[in-house]
Amino acid sequence: MQGHNRKPLPLGIAVLVLILASISPASSQNQQNTFNIGGGAKKPIPGGGAAVGGGDPFDQFIAKNVQHFAVTEQIYASKAQATGGKQLDAELSAAEASTVRYVVSPDGKGNYKTITEAINAVPEKNKKRIILDIKPGTYKEKLVIPMWKPFITFVGNAKNPPIIMWADTAGTKGKDSKPIGTLASATLAVEADYFSACGIVIKNNAPLAKPGEEGGQAVALRLFGTKAAFYNCTIDGGQDTLYDHKGLHYFKNCIIRGSVDFIFGFGRSLYTDCTIFSVTKEIAILTAQQRTKNIDDKDAIESGFSFVRCSISGMGQIYLGRAWGDSSRVVYSFTDMSKEVVPVGWDKWNVEKPDRRGGVFYGEYKCSGPGAMSNERIGWARVLNDEQARPFTGSHFVYGNSWILPPAKSNF
Ligand SMILES: *[C@@H]1O[C@H](CO)[C@@H](O)[C@H](O)[C@H]1NC(C)=O
């Protein structure tokens, strides 16, 4: 990840791994208790009195979020009025109006045999919506959709989806025989705006990295363009599966599989009705959200991940997130959490003092399942109240009215 590829496990977690490794299977039912040894686990503070004037900086920060939501809601309402209910971005409407479809089929019976050929054929500064109907099959291709090719949609049959697969890792040697790094390891990199996909599997099938192993990051999907939507897709990998790098992103009915930091970056993204699955028997860390003022890009401080009606399960000990940035922001709402979610829930990583005066914003709202709402959550995570959760629980979180379209239908 940008400059430093190695991401050692935080000391606290490393110690816990040792403790866990040393307990016999017979006492595994007591595993949960061993997490107390790390210390700092306190009962979360319910609600938080954001509406009460003043309060501590954390409360003020939450109150600001609520305010910001109220303002954007009003802006949308007045825009909708002015355009007779049409709120889509003008360039997107225009692209939609001139949609073209092409078939990708390895047997030569379509317009293109590979997805690479189809993308190459899209003109620079493309203005039409281009839907690629991709026939079922395995596509061993490493793809980049460059910035100057917006409005591309991949469609497959969700019941028998095409699989896009490659196996680069951060440690893979490039042409200059130096390691290519996390960023370049992606199977599919989307740098253009208004990309969407429906019924596609995007996979990095490099072998799963061992904990702390150097160069093991293996990105399946990297999103650097804004206003990207994914429906019924599977994003499959191990360490660093989904580089939610930058921009507004929407995921619905998707399956996301990974191990360490498997959703990471400074995207502002909504994940709804998604199944999130840990594939490691050791420590899994679901998010490493990179919100910070220290990146020279206003998107970084606007960023955050919101999970709504998702389910979290799989193997190992699952952490909900660790703070990559000093103001890392992640909220889970109405989400089912299996027993593998560790009672402390979250990890501070390199943030020295993640307390109520800091910028880290980790919240949970009306989640369920054995891994949810433990009494042992780390003290600086929050149980949000209705008002505090509202900015995060709908497509307004990603300003979706102006760009989220219904999923395209497959012809196969
Ligand atoms: C997408 O997934 C949802 C939930 O699993 C399902 O109800 C829907 O039919 C799927 N869509 C397609 C096109 O298969």
* 253 Cα–ligand 1 center, Å: 7
Question: In this predicted structure, what is the pLDDT of residue 58?
Answer: 61
* 232 Cα–ligand 1 center, Å: 6
Q: Which of 133, 253, 272, 275 to mutate to test the pocket of ligand 1 (most atoms within 8 A of CB)?
A: 253
What is the Cα–Cα distance from 5 to 1, expressed in whole angstroms? 5
- Strand duo 287-289 + 311-314: pairing: unpaired
Please state which of the ranges 54-58, 88-92, 102-106 shows the lowest mean pLDDT.
54-58
pTM, two decimal places? 0.84
Does the Cβ of 301 fall within 6 Å of ligand 1?
Answer: no
SS3 track for 330-365: EEEECCEECCCECCCCEECCCCCCCCCCCCCEEEEE
Q: Which residues are catalytic?
A: 261
Does the Cβ of 253 fall within 6 Å of ligand 1?
Answer: yes
What is the Cα–Cα distance from 278 to 317, expressed in whole angstroms? 9
> Looking at residues 17-25, what average pLDDT do you find?
35
Query: What's the angle, vertex CA 228, arms to CA 164 and CA 150, rounded to 5?
Result: 85
360: Cβ contacts below 8 Å, ≥ 6 apart:
323, 326, 327, 328, 329, 348, 351, 354, 380
Does the Cβ of 275 fall within 6 Å of ligand 1?
Answer: no
What is the Cα–Cα distance from 35 to 13, expressed in whole angstroms? 9
What is the Cα–Cα distance from 21 to 281, expressed in whole angstroms? 12
146 neighbors 220 (Cβ within 8 angstroms): no
What is the Cα–Cα distance from 184 to 217, expressed in whole angstroms? 10
Question: In this predicted structure, what is the pLDDT of residue 67?
Answer: 73
Please give the sequence-ordered ranges of beta strands (E in DSSP) within 177-253, or none if there are none: 188-190, 196-198, 201-204, 221-223, 228-231, 234-236, 242-252
Binning pLDDT at 50, 70 and 90, where does residue 4 land? very low
Closest approach atom of ligand 1 to CA 232: 1
Does the Cβ of 328 fall within 6 Å of ligand 1?
Answer: no
Closest approach atom of ligand 1 to CA 231: 1
412: Cβ contacts below 8 Å, ≥ 6 apart:
133, 135, 136, 156, 157, 160
Closest approach atom of ligand 1 to CA 407: 13
pLDDT digits (tens, 9 = 90+) for 123-134: 999 999 999 999
